[in-house]
Chain A
Amino acid sequence: MINKIKVEFLSLSVNESFARTAVAGFFSELDPTIEEIAEIKTSVSEAVSNAIIHGYKNQPTGIVTVECSYDENRKLVISVADNGVGIENIEKAREPLFTTGSSEERAGMGFTVMESFTDHVEVTSKLGEGTRVLMIKRLDAGYEL
């Protein structure tokens, strides 16, 4: 690992845009392409929204922790963690179109988006303790000038 950040913030939906902007800013050092930045921002936004909506049931008193790192091989690791209710059935939660947030017109596509925009998504969760989403993405090799 050659660089790392850790950001903590309250589970307020207004912080979703802060989280994705902060993460994109951290990785901008590696000169990712516009596409890669869009993919990173969208994936972070999905994970943070999930933590707020599902983990903390929209209660604004939880803490969401986002940790990011990258190494010399341009491998990015993004972890989004909450201490919320946890996921009962992770496999089910990852299925496209599955959602428990029916009253909010949720599409149930969060994990599908994360999976298509990163190389690897790992979910660990314990009921009553919280959830952690770990995403790994390798950036294209940069141009040597």
Chain B
Amino acid sequence: MQTYLDFQMKDDVLIVNIVGDLDHHQATQAREEIDRTIEAFKSKNLILDFSKVEFMDSSGIGVVMGRYNKVKEKGGEILIIGCSKYVKLILEMAGIFTIIRYCESLNEALEKFQAMEEQREVSGNDK
């Protein structure tokens, strides 16, 4: 199974589409590539799209946790979309959804980021 990442930038949100298998072998590469792209585009917010993931084991948890820490460090947020029942189950085992919100669609995730941004602007004007 060929595994690759598809990147898309919408405003200041980097959308990462993971295609194929996310196991220990692929996770190392995925991790490095996502981090490099975050740096290159100076993206603050991240959406991880799992809809094209064919297989995932607990290595996926590490990838998500690592990116969460990285994005949080820079004051950004991370949202997850497109999980199959299995991907969701594995992420749930590690309690991922207690710290990262799950959205049903890309639009919902983008809207959430927009709402967060607007809220930030409003509270910024108050000061």
Contacts and interface: CB of A to CB of B under 8 A. Distances in A.
- Are A and B subunits of one complex? yes
Given A45-B57, A53-B24, A105 B62 contact: yes
A41 B57 CA distance: 9
A113 interface: yes
- The majority secondary structure among interface residues of chain A is helix
A14 B29 CA distance: 12
Interface residues on A, range: 20 to 34
Contacts of B66: 105
A83 interface: no
A113 B58 contact: yes
Interface residues on B, range: 20 to 34
B59 interface: yes
Given A42-B86, A46-B58, A49-B57, A13 B25 contact: yes
B5 to A, nearest CB: 16
A135 to B, nearest CB: 14
Residue among A53, A106, A109 with the highest chain B CB neighbour number at 10 A: A109
A97 interface: yes
A38 interface: yes
B78 interface: no
Contacts of A13: 23-25, 28
B63 A49 contact: no
Contact of A106 (B21, B55, B62, B93): B62
Interface of A: 13-14, 16-17, 20, 38, 41-42, 45-46, 49, 52-53, 96-97, 104-107, 109-110, 112-113, 116
Given A104-B62, A106-B62, A107-B58, 4 more contacts: A17-B23, A45-B55, A107-B62, A107-B65
